[in-house]
Structure 1
């Protein structure tokens, strides 16, 4: 048998060289912030804002508290009068008792026996001591919770991209209508349970209890320009819907701290609704800083054939992270990366699996370009890349990501055009 060692050696070396040049595409999450353009921008001459919260129920609160304090004073006055009159009442009772005893003692023994045994009457006087004066209890009324409205507005109503100042300011006014809720109650339900005893299982019905109540916190918001023109007046419909609180269930009957339960949920929904209002206003008129979870691709290769793509990956990663804080430097980094990717795409050969820029690398570069163009608000360039992706045979995952970018660029296109 002939030994073909040279042929085998050559085949091994070729195989080794192919493996040494093999590439694998990796991805990495890149969390960064960007400034979102408003969907309904106001005049660029307006650079400041004012925000405040109004609570019409405070007037009603004052009426209720005033009536309560008046009733408290009335109860206290009654108590003082009764205390002052009590000694005279006590003396009158003592005098009446003494007089009745004196009259009773004047009766003969026979009269007393006759009343007791025949008439079945016991006419011996009993001292009637008047009850001690007491302060009448006045139930404390339920009123809507009051807040430091100025602090709430400063915390939750912030128009991003604008300075908080009075001069030529757009005004954001939120109206609170108060916390509306049903009384918490304990509800029960029957559950089928299984128990095991002596290796045998059996079913039984158990009673479980939970606390439940419904609540809501309606709010409305108005936005008014410095000239008095109202550009927004809305009461979000979802704020009128009741939220149902339901505690975890237990076989033990729960003890309810109604006041604490209501207060906790009231504060929680108020904060959530104010945040939603602020997001709504900023979506229309502000320049909020939005967090985005980006995804960038790079190629890992033993042969060092993709230094250009790794450089672009690193430059874009660092550029995205400083996009808000150092926009000029960030754009320089990202644009340099775009040029590297575009240059690499000149080698693109999707039908050749052995090409340096094969189909998979081409798709990876296109997605990197989409992330870069989105960050730079290059809408036209982004749609050009999407068109090129549409010519390739994408996986389901890639197609879904491409569709997500298309939605993002469509929204960005509207915002860019509106903000020209």
Structure 2
């Protein structure tokens, strides 16, 4: 018992030593609005979109009005107005094909179960069938159009498989199926329609829309630690926050004034990073703090369109800094913004 007591004391001492030898980081989230550019910009002469629906058989009990409304809500592109067909209008066709269900297959499976001291084989009954509710879309421009612009959403032309719960008694399975057949089919149709319509809306919005989005970035600051002060990093964060709050919801990149403000924050972080000692955990800017500063710099460089600088810091962080996994999301955002800027041929000032 006494030995356990000493072991616990030693463990607490070790934990305390670890805690006092590492700086604590604060996470600060800044929210702002910006214009998200399309991945596939449409020709400049296209100002309107015209939705067209082609519906297959709508089952009794399903509301045709609700189905049409759901698809109409999905067929739109931010930045374009709905209008009549013409030389400046994109036609978006959505074809909802008839829901299909295969023949029901009644199956059995044997399972081993304990009955007292013995293990016995027990037969369970279930049913399975295949189904689909295909939703096809097609974009038609008055002129030529090279982008991929048609197909089945979510591979909805391919069959999905449904499997029921298992029943000990075949009669119970039949009873459940007879009582729930219609409601189950209605739910499967509704779930597929909701999912496919949502995916169509996302595809149109993500690839072709000019949309004001609510965005946010996370910045690290460092708490005072022993003799070390981090007022410079606090100041940099405050300046960066000012710059982000100057972002405009109708612009994809910061204004000149916002960019100038962000550059002041970056200059402070660059100076702090220059004093980093990655081999010494007890210095002011150690590997952990360096990684936090790198995160902050990458966030601003990416939003400013300085993609090469952001990429250089991500690579360095991956190789040298303690980063706690933030580089993965930073890389995803960098790649996305870079694709959109390049696709729209935006020049970085």
Report the TM-score, using the length of structure 1 for normalisation. 0.61
Q: 1:22 to 1:144 in 2, by over 3 A?
A: closer
CA distance in 2, matches of 1:229, 1:22: 61
Partner of 2:51: 51
| Unmatched tracts of structure 1, length 5 or more | 1-18, 62-141
Confirm whether residue 383 of structure 1 aligns to residue 311 of structure 2.
Answer: yes
Q: Secondary structure at the match of 2:42?
A: coil
Partner of 2:3: none
CA distance in 2, matches of 1:41, 1:326: 16
**Contact 1:373–1:381 at 8 Å: present in 2 too?**
yes
**Contact 1:209–1:249 at 8 Å: present in 2 too?**
yes
* C-alpha RMSD of the superposition: 3.9
CA distance in 2, matches of 1:188, 1:179: 27
Confirm whether residue 163 of structure 1 aligns to residue 81 of structure 2.
Answer: yes
CA distance in 1, matches of 2:45, 2:184: 47
Residue in structure 2 matching 1:180, options 83, 100, 103: 100
Matches within 5 A, 1:317-396: 331=258, 337-389=265-317, 392-394=319-321
Partner of 2:338: 413
Q: 1:393 to 1:382 in 2, by over 3 A?
A: closer
Matches within 5 A, 1:231-270: 231=147, 232-236=149-153, 238-251=155-168, 253-254=172-173, 255-256=176-177, 257-270=180-193
Q: 1:325 to 1:293 in 2, by over 3 A?
A: closer
1:361 Cα deviation from its structure 2 partner: 1.4
Q: 1:234 to 1:393 in 2, by over 3 A?
A: same
Q: 1:185 to 1:248 in 2, by over 3 A?
A: same
**Contact 2:22–2:282 at 8 Å: present in 1 too?**
no
Q: Secondary structure at the match of 2:156?
A: helix
1:411 Cα deviation from its structure 2 partner: 4.1
1:162 Cα deviation from its structure 2 partner: 3.1
CA distance in 1, matches of 2:124, 2:329: 45
**Contact 2:34–2:250 at 8 Å: present in 1 too?**
no
1:366 Cα deviation from its structure 2 partner: 0.8
Matches within 5 A, 1:62-73: none
1:419 Cα deviation from its structure 2 partner: 0.6
Partner of 2:233: 309
**Contact 1:172–1:221 at 8 Å: present in 2 too?**
yes
Matches within 5 A, 1:210-249: 210-225=126-141, 227-229=142-144, 231=147, 232-236=149-153, 238-249=155-166
**Contact 2:110–2:121 at 8 Å: present in 1 too?**
yes
Q: 1:147 to 1:343 in 2, by over 3 A?
A: farther
Q: 1:406 to 1:45 in 2, by over 3 A?
A: same
**Contact 2:23–2:289 at 8 Å: present in 1 too?**
no
CA distance in 1, matches of 2:245, 2:105: 50
**Contact 2:101–2:131 at 8 Å: present in 1 too?**
yes
Q: 1:322 to 1:235 in 2, by over 3 A?
A: farther
Q: Secondary structure at the match of 1:240?
A: coil
CA distance in 2, matches of 1:258, 1:211: 12
- State the aligned residue count: 311
CA distance in 1, matches of 2:21, 2:184: 65
**Contact 1:32–1:320 at 8 Å: present in 2 too?**
yes
Task: Determine which structure has more spread, i.e. the larger CA radius of gyration.
Answer: 1
Q: Secondary structure at the match of 2:320?
A: coil
| Unmatched tracts of structure 2, length 5 or more | 1-18
Matches within 5 A, 1:23-34: 23-27=23-27
Partner of 1:300: 223
Partner of 2:70: 152
Q: 1:263 to 1:319 in 2, by over 3 A?
A: farther
